[in-house]
Amino acid sequence: MSELYRLLRFGVFELNLDLEEVRKSGSLLKLAPQPFKLLAMLASRSGQIVTRDEIQQQLWGSDTFIDFEQGVNKCIKQIRAALGDNADNPLYIETLPRHGYRFLAPVRMKMIPAPPPQVKDASSGLLANVSGEVRARVQGVSAPPGFATPPRDVEANVTPELDSSPSSALPSRRWLWALIVLLIVAAIVAYLLLRH
């Protein structure tokens, strides 16, 4: 069974909790790890108040010796900048003075299959996403039982460099057949010469 990624979606944004990525309309945004974790924490509890104490415990821990107030404020500022949010008229993160924060947008959770692992093609040196099933087909064998393959609705992304369609393998097969025919003709000629 293939690995699944957990996504949180709100508006035009998508958080991949497993890859720690934020995307806006499919484009990757830059967000440091700590602000990402805070955003994920707030978005996963959409509509609820998340206190500063909870944030400190979950993201920094009780034994971390930093200026927590400044750290949280900096993270919130980075998150708002990434989302294009405004503290005075928030769409996503509402500040509740002396309490904490509340994520305002409705959030949907979705599970998607992880892409197949990257495989390096020895002949071209290029990387390609190839599923186990496609790799097995390229090598001309069926996938062994229990071999992880993606669900049927997920297309494998195979670059042309790894394509082993009959047209790309044709020249090497022609040489093999020509060699076999040549050996058969030579054997027949040798047989006839020895017989006479």
In 3D space, the residue among 86, 2, 71, 89 whose CA is nearest the CA of residue 33 turns out to be 71
Task: Tell me which of 41-45, 109-113, 173-177 is least confident.
Answer: 173-177
pTM for this prediction: 0.57
Handedness of CA 146, 143, 158, 156 (dihedral sign): negative
Q: What is the DSSP string of the chain?
A: ---EEEEEEETTEEEETTTTEEEETTEEE---HHHHHHHHHHHHTTTSEEEHHHHIIIII-TT--S-HHHHHHHHHHHHHHHHT--SSS-SSEEEETTTEEEE-S--EEEEEEPPPPEEE-TTT--EEE--HHHHHHHTTSPPPTT-----TTS-----GGG---HHHHHHHHHHHHHHHHHHHHHHHHHHHHHH-
Distance separating alpha carbons of residues 48 and 130, to the nearest angstrom: 42
What confidence tier does 158 reach under pLDDT thresholds 50, 70, 90? Answer: very low
Handedness of CA 173, 176, 182, 183 (dihedral sign): negative
Digit-coded pLDDT (tens) for 83-119: 999 999 999 999 998 889 999 999 999 888 887 776 6
109: left (phi over 0), alpha (psi -120 to 50) or beta: beta
What confidence tier does 133 reach under pLDDT thresholds 50, 70, 90? Answer: very low
Quick check: 65 pLDDT over 80?
no
Digit-coded pLDDT (tens) for 3-27: 888 999 999 999 999 999 999 999 9
Task: Tell me which of 67-81, 86-100, 143-157 is least confident.
Answer: 143-157
